Amino acid sequence: MRISDLSRLSGTPVGTIKYYLREGLLPPGRPLGATLTLYGEEHVQRLRLIRALTSRGGLSIAATRDVLAAIDQPLDPLATLGVVHYALPTPVDAAEADAVDEQSLRVDELLAAMGWEVSPESPHRRALAASLMDLSRLGMEYGTEDLLPYAELAAAAARLDLDRLENIEDRLRLAEHAAIVVLLLEPVLAVLRRLAQEDESRRRTAWARTTDGAGPRPDPHPADGR
C-alpha cells in the first residue's frame, strides 16, 4: 500500500499524512527505493486513531503524540493507564498555584473518603483542585459530601471501563484499547450526561407544571426500578 492508497482508505489528504509522519504520530513505512514507501493495515488503523483522538477527543497533536508513544511501549495495564493519563493536557497555570493548593486539602479528603489510592504525582489531583477552586470562586462550593456521590459514579464508570479492558483478547493492542476507552469514552459520557440532564429536567418541569408547586411530589421515575 502506497501513500495514495493510505490517503484514499483513510480519507486523509496526502499532505496531512506527510505531516503526521514528520511529527512522529505515524510510524514510517517500509521504504522500497527513493520514491516509494509501503504502508500497511496498521497505518490505516493508526491514522483512524489519530483522527479520533484529535477531532473527537480534542487532543492536540503534541498530546496525541505522547499518548501514541505511550501505547507503543509494552507495559502492564496500570503502567499504560498511568502513561496515558500523564500524557493528557491538564492546564493549571502557575499564577494561581497557591489558590489551587488550598483546594488540595479537599481533594485529599475526598480521596481518603473514597479509599482511593492515587499516586501523589498524579496530575489529576491538581486538575481537580483547580476545578474546585474555579467553582468556589464562582460561588458554588463543592465539599467532600457533595463530591462523594459523583465520585461513586466515577468509580462505577471506572469499573465498567476496566471490565471492558479485561475482556480484550488482543493483548498486543491492549494499550491501544486502554487509550481508546480512557479518551474516547469521555465525550460519550459527557454527552450521555447532557442527554440525561435534558430528560431529567423535563421530568421535573412536568411535575412542577402539573402540580403548580403544591401537593406531594410523585415519583418522577416510573417503572425505573430505583
Partner DNA sequence: GTCTTCTGGAAAGCTTTACTTTCCACTACG
Partner DNA sequence: CGTAGTGGAAAGTAAAGCTTTCCAGAAGAC
Which residues contribute to the site for DNA (CB under 7 A)? 2-5, 13-16, 18-19, 21-22, 28-29, 31, 33-37, 54, 60-62
Least distance in angstroms from the C-beta of 178 to DNA:
22
Which residue, 21 or 52, has its beta carbon nearer to a copy of itself?
52
In this structure, what C-alpha cell is assigned to residue 94?
502557575
Residue with cell 491538581: 126
Residue with Cβ nearer a copy of itself (32 or 158): 158
Q: What stretch of H or E contains 70?
A: helix 61-71
Q: How far is the CB of 55 from DNA (least distance, A)?
A: 7
CB of 217 to a copy of itself, least distance (A): 11
Task: Please tell me whether residue 222 adopts helix, strand or coil conformation.
Answer: coil
For a copy of itself, the closer of residues 32 and 192 by Cβ is 192
- What, of DNA, a copy of itself, none, does residue 4 touch, CB below 5 to 8 Å by kind? DNA
CB closer to DNA, 14 vs 195: 14
Task: Provide the phi-psi class of 14: left if phi over 0, else alpha when psi is between -120 and 50, else beta.
Answer: alpha
Please calculate the CA angle 214-218-219 and round it to the nearest 5 degrees: 150
**CB under 5 to 8 A by kind: which of DNA, a copy of itself, none does 184 bind?**
a copy of itself
Give 27 or 77: the residue with its C-beta nearer to a copy of itself. Answer: 77
Out of DNA, a copy of itself, none, what residue 213 binds, judged by CB under 5 to 8 A for its kind, is none
Cα–Cα dist 111/98, whole Å: 20
Smallest separation (angstroms) from DNA to the CB of 60 = 3
Instruction: Give CA angle at 179 (177, 185), nearest 5°.
Output: 90
**Minimum distance of a copy of itself from residue 163's CB (angstroms):** 9
68 residue type, one letter: L
Distance separating alpha carbons of residues 11 and 20, to the nearest angstrom: 14
Residue 31: φ, ψ to 5°: -75, 135
Of DNA, a copy of itself, none, which one sits near residue 162, judging by CB under 5 to 8 A according to partner kind? Answer: a copy of itself
- CB closer to a copy of itself out of 62 and 158: 158
Q: Please report how close the Cβ of residue 45 comes to DNA at its closest, in angstroms.
A: 17
- 103 close to 94: Cβ distance less than 8 angstroms: no
The full DSSP string for 4-17 is: HHHHHHHT--HHHH
